């Protein structure tokens, strides 16, 4: 099947069929994504997103791709339902289309024996439907949707837009890697797509691997490294992509090896760049920074061209984006700033985890005959919470030294800001865990953004990551425009902007003068807003440094146990978990011993993803 034939197969409207209304009052739909990376589960009830969580947060296997059994259990418990109360399970990709791609890959010349074995193994695996039924004991309806349709729905149906152009871009789904479409009310249609193996996501991941970073994980590092470089190699890297008219483009496959080998790029890329690939964990020099800048620029340029094309076909003021490439916040910002659309909504869990939400949303449209509630997504605090009663019971049982601020929220806020002003680093665990890759003030590390030493301190002693990676600010929504070149709320930390503050903010300002901003208000995160207001009242700074509550290589902390183990293993000064405060001096010896066991048992059952090649199979 040639490229044009494959595209024609998919040129079908994704409009809802006639509604299949059910008799009972409550409609419970479970969405599932699994098998590639960032497996997740969500619950949509009567058109409202109730719960959502990634499997990695429970299994503690980074990017866990296995069937989200634990995440499903959480969604059922949170929704107070049993398996028998589920009206439909929606799966986020089409296994038949995926099988066709796997067969096509297996027919490539010069394919390695290992790759053939891997493809054969995947082809012999049970279908997702069979796995869902056997693993969950579920015998109800299962709806299957295309991977990029799930991406598109996850963005448009949560955007609050009545109508919008839709762009999805990732590594690969079933066949598609980039899709162009539009949404109006409950209807979504796709009119063009780019097919595997041609992929902007693979282009960026190949450069990620060439620079010695982990594929499926280190793309953020390339984006963070780019501002330190100059685009000296942009023309060379642009030659890797043949940009066609309209929505199409093609990779020059001479430079990529992912079709036949267990690596993203070929030796020809090293010859083109006149440098060998960087050895992981080795020193970064100016060449690597310049390559990162060049790759970032090429990605932005191609995206801008394709966004302009999409607007020529769909002249809306609104753009919805999803797919892993939509997590490149620098490119997002440039598309909004320089592109033809006035408003942009990026699905906060834009990668595969968000596909679970998109699939469930499409199933709801099919069954109910209408879209989800039309209000835009306000927050992603959709995961588990730690109950104060459980926290107090554990602290008492372990003889930990702690402060109890139950019923004394104002005093808790005062205490926390006292510590921030002393230069302390605070672990902040409040309410329901965030869904998606960003910590947004529910499982966060907070600190003073004005401290010139804070960024290096957290990077070296807490996050244990590369010093060049920036930290993000969280700011009161009402004050954001005074400190950042931002004229709209940014609740999900999915775009960058220039820091324009009169304040010196070295801990959250990147080398190019930018920051990846999160705005908060009382309706979305009341306690964090109160914290920011108190800091502003005392210092004139309504901003805190905000980064995820986890150690390097770990998923974001989820349970109370995870939060405590992160605190014990790190050099964080203070833990504020709900109404309780623990200082480092109050850590019991038992917890330190438990942390050693936790570290040793970190690799729990689950399916981690490859970091040498993008998850293709």
Q: What does the pLDDT look like over 36-60, one tens digit per residue? A: 889 999 999 999 999 999 999 999 9
Is residue 17 pLDDT above 60, yes or no? Answer: no
pLDDT band at 6 (very low <50, low <70, confident <90, very high): very low
Give percent of the chain with pLDDT exceeding 90: 82
pLDDT of residue 24: 53
Give the position of tokens 């090896």.
257
Q: Which domains does the chain have, with CATH numbers?
A: 3-160+349-368 (3.30.420.40), 200-344 (3.30.420.40), 388-600 (3.90.870.20)
Q: Check if the beta carbon of residue 29 is closer than 8 Å to that of residue 357.
A: no
Most confident segment among 27-31, 126-130, 586-590: 27-31
Cα end-to-end span (Å), the chain: 19
Q: What does the pLDDT look like over 379-438, one tens digit per residue? A: 999 999 999 999 999 999 998 999 999 999 999 999 999 999 999 999 999 999 999 999
CA–CA gap between residue 78 and residue 28 (Å, rounded): 12
Q: Check if the beta carbon of residue 264 is closer than 8 Å to that of residue 202.
A: yes
Q: In the 8-state DSSP scheme, what is residue 511?
A: T
User: DSSP characters for 318-382?
Assistant: EEEEESGGGG-HHHHHHHHHHSS-SEEEE-TTTTHHHHHHHHHHHHHHHHHSSPSPSSPP---B-
Is residue 590 pLDDT above 80, yes or no? Answer: yes
Give percent of the chain with pLDDT exceeding 70: 94
**pTM (predicted TM-score):** 0.93
Q: What does the pLDDT look like over 529-551, one tens digit per residue? A: 999 999 999 999 999 999 999 99
Is residue 375 pLDDT above 70, yes or no? Answer: yes
pLDDT of residue 616: 60
pLDDT of residue 113: 86
Q: What does the pLDDT look like over 500-526, one tens digit per residue? A: 999 999 999 999 999 999 999 999 999
């Amino acid at each position: 099947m040639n490229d044009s034939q494959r595209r024609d197969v998919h040129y079908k409207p994704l409009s809802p069929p006639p509604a299949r209304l059910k008799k009972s009052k409550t409609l419970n739909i479970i969405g599932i994504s699994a098998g590639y990376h960032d497996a997740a589960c969500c619950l949509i009830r009567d058109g409202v997103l109730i719960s959502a969580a990634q499997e990695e947060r429970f299994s503690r296997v980074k990017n866990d791709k296995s069937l989200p059994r634990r995440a499903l259990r959480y969604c059922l418990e949170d929704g107070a339902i049993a398996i028998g109360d589920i009206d439909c399970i929606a799966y986020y990709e089409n296994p038949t289309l995926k099988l066709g791609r796997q067969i096509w890959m297996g027919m490539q010349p010069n394919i390695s024996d290992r790759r053939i074995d891997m493809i054969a193994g995947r082809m012999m695996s049970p279908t997702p439907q069979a796995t869902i039924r056997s693993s969950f004991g579920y015998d109800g309806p299962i709806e299957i949707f295309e991977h990029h349709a799930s991406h598109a729905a996850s963005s448009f149906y949560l955007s609050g837009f009545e109508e919008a152009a839709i762009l999805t871009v990732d590594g690969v789904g079933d066949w598609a890697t980039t899709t162009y479409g539009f949404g109006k009310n409950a209807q979504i249609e796709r009119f063009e797509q780019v097919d595997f193996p041609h992929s902007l996501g693979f282009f960026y991941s190949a450069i990620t691997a060439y620079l010695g970073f982990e594929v499926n994980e280190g793309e953020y590092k390339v984006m963070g490294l780019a501002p330190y470089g100059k685009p000296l190699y942009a023309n060379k890297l642009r030659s890797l992509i043949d940009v066609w008219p309209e929505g199409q483009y093609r990779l020059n496959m001479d430079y990529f090896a992912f079709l036949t080998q267990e690596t993203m790029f070929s030796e020809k890329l090293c010859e083109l760049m006149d440098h060998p690939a960087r050895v992981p964990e080795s020193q970064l020099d100016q060449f690597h920074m310049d390559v990162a800048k060049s790759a970032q620029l090429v990605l932005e340029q191609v995206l801008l061209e394709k966004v302009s094309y999409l607007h020529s076909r769909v002249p809306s003021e609104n753009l919805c984006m999803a797919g892993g490439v939509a997590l490149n916040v620098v490119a997002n910002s440039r598309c909004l700033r320089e592109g033809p659309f006035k408003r942009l909504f990026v699905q906060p869990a834009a990668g595969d985890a968000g596909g679970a939400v998109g699939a469930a949303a499409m199933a709801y449209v099919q069954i109910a005959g209408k879209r989800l509630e039309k209000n835009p997504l306000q927050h992603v605090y959709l995961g588990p919470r730690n109950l104060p009663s459980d926290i107090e019971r554990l602290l008492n049982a372990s003889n930990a030294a702690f402060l109890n601020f139950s019923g004394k929220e104002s005093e808790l806020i005062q205490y926390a800001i006292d510590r921030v002003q002393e230069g302390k680093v605070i672990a902040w665990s409040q309410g329901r865990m965030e869904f998606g890759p960003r910590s947004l003030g529910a499982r966060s590390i907070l600190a003073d953004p004005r401290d010139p030493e804070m960024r290096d301190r957290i990077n070296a002693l807490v996050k244990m990551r590369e010093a060049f990676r920036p930290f993000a600010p969280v700011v009161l929504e009402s004050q954001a425009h005074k400190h950042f070149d931002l004229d709209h709320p940014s609740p999900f930390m999915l775009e960058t902007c220039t820091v324009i503050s009169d304040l010196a903010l070295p801990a959250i300002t990147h080398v190019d003068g930018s920051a990846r901003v999160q705005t908060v208000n009382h309706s979305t995160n009341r306690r964090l807003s109160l914290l920011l207001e108190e800091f502003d009242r005392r210092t004139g700074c309504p901003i805190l440094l905000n980064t995820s509550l986890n150690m390097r290589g770990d998923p974001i902390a989820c349970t109370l146990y995870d939060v405590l183990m992160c605190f014990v293993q790190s050099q964080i000064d203070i833990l504020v978990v709900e109404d309780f405060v623990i200082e480092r001096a109050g850590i019991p010896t038992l917890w330190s011993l438990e942390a050693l066991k936790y570290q040793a048992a970190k690799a729990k059952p689950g399916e981690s993803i490859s970091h040498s090649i993008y998850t293709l199979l």
